[in-house]
Amino acid sequence: MGQFFKYTLASFVGSCLLLLLLGVFLAIGALGLAGLLLTGLVRGAPKAEPAKNTILVYDLSTAIAEGPTRLEMGTHLLGGASRSQLSLRRAVMALEKAAQDDLIVGLYLQGGDGGVGAGLADQVDLRQAIATFKASGKPILAYNTDWNEQQYNLAALAHPLYLNPFGSIEMNGLYAQTMYQAAALAKLGVGVQVTRVGKYKSAVEPFLRNSMSPAERDQAQQLLGDVWQTLVANAVQARSLTPQQLQTIANRQGLLFGTTARSQKLVDQVAYEDDVITALRQLTKETDDDRESSDGDQSFRQITLPDYARGLTDDLVNRSASAQVALVYAEGTIVNGDAAGAWGQTRVIAGNTLARQLRQLRQDQAVKALVLRIDSPGGSATAAEVIQREVHLFRKAGKPVVVSMGNVAASGGYWIAANADLIMAQPTTITGSIGVFSLFLNLKTLGDKVGVAWDGVKTADLADIGSSTRPKTAQELGILQRNVDLIYDAFLDRVEAGRHLPRTRIAEIAQGRVWSGKTAQRLGLVDELGGVNQAIAKAAQLAKLGDRWQLREYPQTNDWQQFLGLFSSSGYGQLGSDPLSSQITLWLADWGLIKTLNDPKGIYLLMPYTWQIN
């Protein structure tokens, strides 16, 4: 990636953000900020406890994160933090414990306009936990004005499942598209050159083409088909339907409105929200004289899933044992170097920082096994190798390593997973993408158009090989392609050594192609299907620990992070969802993307696209 282009844009965005942040601080005022900080510390994070006959409410838009919430002041003040964020393990634990809690009489799955706050792989864990609640015999109710496929994936387990009379169920299949920019870049005068290995390594195609390549269409269609089949199978199991019925609906109707959705058995009842509230109040045995809030008929005795989870004790963490199983979260794009500072992005995997954490755990005599939870599309090839080396040394020290794949563990995410003793994924995990690319932009034509030129001196022919002010020569592209080829061969080496597959077989299923977890297991890239809790149990089993061990989660939140958590729970420090703060959040996302492109060789192990399903 052209360094001039990247850092010029980064400098511009950074300057804008600095000015905006200064404005925020000046608006708050030093005295007001001090008061807010003090209030956050005094209030703390309240631990709500349910009363008798309480409904557990799971708002499906609740943001489900891989590990404990980690906040940064920059994104926190600018509205990037969610007050309803909850880690996957605690969400699952809360649902399972509520099933046995005598104070909880039912579960309410609340829809809304926010979609589902959990990725498709995380939904597998959540769905299993909801099924555990259902098996306890306690009722599950669900209501929304409009249900989409992902919401329905969880809500289908409810009975009764409600739909607003003027609402609908979206059951029209899944759709994914990519924006292609080759023509636009050509008009602007931005040149694009690439080196890559793997015919399916299509991350560079949006810059080179104006439509999908046949290879990209093939892999996208199969991946989307695998996900759709899983969603259909879940709905069929929960609602006593057939796959043919749902596929016919998707092909011919797409949206089922009100009573039509009920007649085709996708919902149980058509009702308004106040009717649902009445049903919930019957479960809590409340009368008109028992209303506990000013909401009147809209109130019932309830506790939210995040609040309920906050009051629970994690039995694995609070065990008394000297032996430990370390659960390390690797979440985000892989970047070279150390973790960002207080104003940086949280969803990155800094190669040196994660490697240092793994080294410390390897050298800790109390740590007997490692579970590496990966949710990453990849990133820097250099950083991925730094992390992979520590995974290798962990195993060499005689401590088993189990990789638990989250929603995505592809490209560089798979590189750091390949050498584990055991790899576990969910059927809808996106993985594989064993391929390498490098992308080079140049501004020569754009400069000619606007009257800008570059000139300089050098001491060797290749001194300016990294310049973004001119196209690469054929000789230079040949040198860069050889580097990419070497990295790709090394990738195949890591997979061959870790997965014990024949080299010819690996070469066949690599080529930069992404796979679903279900297909990856069949191909041998994944060993077993299962979630993070199953991975923890497997790690303890491989280390032969019996029940004499406790769990420790890393990275651990420091005092600053804990304070920001208290600050968040007090209700302060967020700008809300007004247009200005929303735009600032978008700028932060762009700034974070720019910062992740920092591999010293400009070589990336990155998934072909950001996977969003509609």
Q: Is 125 within 8 Å of 532 (Cβ atoms)?
A: yes
Distance CA 81, CA 556 (A): 18
Residue in 61, 97, 168, 201 annotated catalytic: 201
DSSP conformation class of 58 = E
CB atoms within 10 A of CB 515: 26
Q: In 3-state terms, the chain is what percent helix, strand and coil (to 5)?
A: 45, 20, 35
Token pair, residue 369, equals 């096994």
Please pick, among 87, 202, 404, 411, the residue that the annotation labels catalytic. Answer: 411
Could you give the 3-state DSSP secondary structure of residue 602? Answer: coil
Helix (H) / strand (E) containing 613:
none
Is 399 a known active-site residue?
A: no
**Continuous segment of H or E residues that includes residue 98:** helix 88-100
Structure tokens belonging to residue 133: 């609640």
Structural contact between residues 159 and 140, judged by C-beta atoms closer than 8 angstroms: yes
Q: How far apart are CA 358 and CA 371, in angstroms?
A: 11
Determine the longest span between alpha carbons in the chain, in angstroms.
87
The string of DSSP codes covering 101-165 is -TTEEEEEEE--TT--SS-HHHHHHHHHHHHHHHHTT--EEEEEEEE-HHHHHHHTT-BSEEEEE
Backbone angles phi, psi at 94, to 5 degrees: -65, -45
The C-alpha atoms of residue 343 and residue 247 are separated, in whole angstroms, by: 47
| DSSP codes joined into one string, 355-380 | HHHHHHHHH-TTEEEEEEEEEE-EEE
Cis peptide, bond prior to residue 160, ω within 30 of zero: yes
**What does the DSSP 8-state code read for residue 404?**
E
CB atoms within 10 A of CB 145: 16
The SS3 assignment for 472 reads coil
Distance CA 326, CA 554 (A): 7
Q: How far is CA 319 from CA 323, 527, 561, in A?
A: 10, 29, 24
Rounded-to-integer distance, Cα 570 and Cα 38, Å: 10
Is 201 known to be catalytic? yes
As a whole number of angstroms, the distance between CA 463 and CA 442 comes to 16
Q: What is the CA radius of gyration of the chain?
A: 26
Burial 92-120 (b: 16+ CB within 10 A, else e): bbbbbbbbebeebbbbbbbbeeeebbbbb
Q: Which amino acid is at 546?
A: G
In sequence order, what are the beta bridge partners of 422? Answer: 402
Structure tokens at 559: 């005092």
Q: Cα 457 from chain centroid? A: 46
Beta-sheet pairing, 140-147 with 104-110? parallel
Q: In terms of DSSP bridges, do strands 604-606 and 378-380 run parallel, antiparallel, or are they unpaired? A: antiparallel
Name the residues annotated as catalytic: 201, 411
